[in-house]
Amino acid sequence: MNGVQVADLRKEPGHYSETAPIGTEGNTSIAGHRTTYGAPFNRIDELQPGDEINVTGVLGQFTYRVLPPGDAFPEQLDTVDGQGAGHVIVNPNATWVLGDFRDNRLTLTACHPKLSSRQRIIVAVELVDEPEELPVFAPELIADVLGEDVVQPLIGDPLPGEDLDTDAGPAPTNAATANLDEGLQGERGAIPGGIAWLLAATAVWVGVGYLARSLFDDKARRVAVRIAAILPAGFCLWFAFEMIDRALPAG
Structure confidence by residue, pLDDT tens digits, 71-105: 999 999 999 999 999 999 999 888 899 888 989 99
Tell me, what's the pLDDT at 164? 39
Cα distances from 145 to residues 107, 142, 148, 150, 215, in angstroms, run 23, 5, 9, 10, 62
b/e map 187-206, b = 16+ CB within 10 Å: beebeebbeebbebbeebbe
Tell me, what's the pLDDT at 158? 37
The pTM of this model reads: 0.64
Mean pLDDT of 155-174: 41
Of residues 161 and 153, the one with the higher pLDDT is 153
As a whole number of angstroms, the distance between CA 120 and CA 109 comes to 7
Calculate the dihedral angle through the C-alpha atoms of 51, 54, 55, 59, rounding to the nearest 10 degrees.
130
Structure confidence by residue, pLDDT tens digits, 96-152: 998 889 899 999 998 888 877 788 999 999 999 888 876 655 555 555 544 444 444
Instruction: Examine the pLDDT at 25 and tell me if it is beyond 70.
Output: yes
Of residues 155 and 51, the one with the higher pLDDT is 51
State how beta strands 60-66 and 82-83 pair: unpaired
